[in-house]
């Protein structure tokens, strides 16, 4: 695997590969890799001639300076893991490489960025769109791989691709979980042993909501989730929403929906975690 740190080197390398007819798969990450990332990388290796992974903790998508400062950075460990997947190139730039000057660019995703993560993390999706757009231009991939755990981010990237006409296929893979159901996340590295056990309550709350979809109102389900999490030590619920899985907008009626997305965000100790389940109501 070749490690590239300079934008110009990446551009030249990718352009040569495309000109030679190679298909390029791309997995953008912020590092602190886990099995969820590795599954995306293995899928890319299987689907494409060349696989590129980026590791870049993007400052423009953090609306909390402390969160940015404490985000896990484990580059040496990540490189070892990448080499086991068959990844061909790692792009690991510095912030000055990616942002040589302050960006004035502003994206608007309408109602999609006004709910859930967009509502609670102002400016977050502008930063996501900025870095994903930059990386798409640098890598010029044929396929880009994202995980369902960041469901709203996937929807934002889908709109970015459509709105700017990127010639790239978005591939979304299911959330990868620990044996107890906890969604794998780089932020889990910041949890101690007790908090890791407690964090499973987010998945348990989603399962509780799923079990009530056919016979309880949205309001009752939301109350049940909130009541359940109040009993858990160190857990502070930020939001729980029942939404359309494509638009992420609140649904008017569960009875009239084919699928719903159950989306949750909560703090476990000092660490903010998100999770979701997309539920086909005919299978409940």
Check 34, 37, 137, 173 and give the catalytic one. 37
Rounded CA-CA distance 112/206 in Å is 22
- Residue 37 designated active-site: yes
Closest listed residue to residue 250, CA positions, set 150, 115, 154: 115
Phi, psi of 236 (to 5 degrees): -125, 115
Helix (H, G, I), strand (E, B) or coil at 260: strand
Angle between helices 124-139 and 7-19 (to 10 degrees): 50
What does 198-249 look like in DSSP terms, one character per residue?
Answer: HHHHHHHHHHHHHHHTTTS-HHHHHHHHHHHHHTSTTEEEEEEEEE-TTT-P
Q: List the structure tokens of 151.
A: 């469901």
Which residues are catalytic, by number?
Answer: 37
């Amino acid at each position: 695997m070749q490690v590239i740190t300079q934008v110009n080197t990446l551009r030249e390398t990718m352009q040569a590969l495309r000109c030679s007819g190679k298909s390029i798969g791309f997995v953008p990450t912020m590092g602190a890799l886990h099995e969820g990332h590795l599954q995306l990388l293995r899928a890319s290796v299987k689907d494409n001639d060349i696989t590129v992974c980026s590791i870049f903790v993007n400052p423009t998508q953090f609306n909390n300076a402390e969160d940015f400062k404490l985000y896990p950075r484990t580059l040496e460990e990540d490189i070892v893991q990448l080499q086991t997947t068959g990844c061909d190139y790692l792009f690991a730039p510095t912030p000055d490489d990616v942002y040589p000057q302050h960006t004035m660019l502003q994206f608007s995703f309408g109602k999609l960025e006004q709910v859930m993560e967009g509502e609670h993390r102002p400016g977050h999706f502008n930063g996501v769109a900025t870095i994903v757009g930059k990386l798409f231009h640098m890598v010029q991939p044929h396929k880009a791989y994202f995980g369902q755990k960041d469901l709203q981010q996937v929807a934002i990237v889908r709109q970015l691709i459509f709105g700017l006409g990127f010639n790239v296929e978005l591939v979304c893979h299911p959330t990868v979980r620990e044996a107890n159901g906890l969604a794998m996340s780089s932020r889990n590295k910041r949890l101690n042993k007790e908090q890791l056990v407690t964090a499973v309550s987010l998945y348990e709350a989603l399962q509780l909501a799923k079990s009530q979809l056919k016979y309880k109102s949205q309001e009752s389900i939301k109350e049940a989730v909130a009541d359940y999490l109040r009993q858990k030590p160190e857990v502070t619920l930020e939001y729980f929403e029942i939404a359309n899985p494509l638009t992420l907008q609140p649904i008017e009626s569960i009875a009239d929906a084919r699928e719903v997305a159950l989306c949750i965000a909560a703090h476990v100790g000092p660490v903010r975690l998100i999770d979701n389940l997309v539920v086909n109501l005919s299978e409940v």
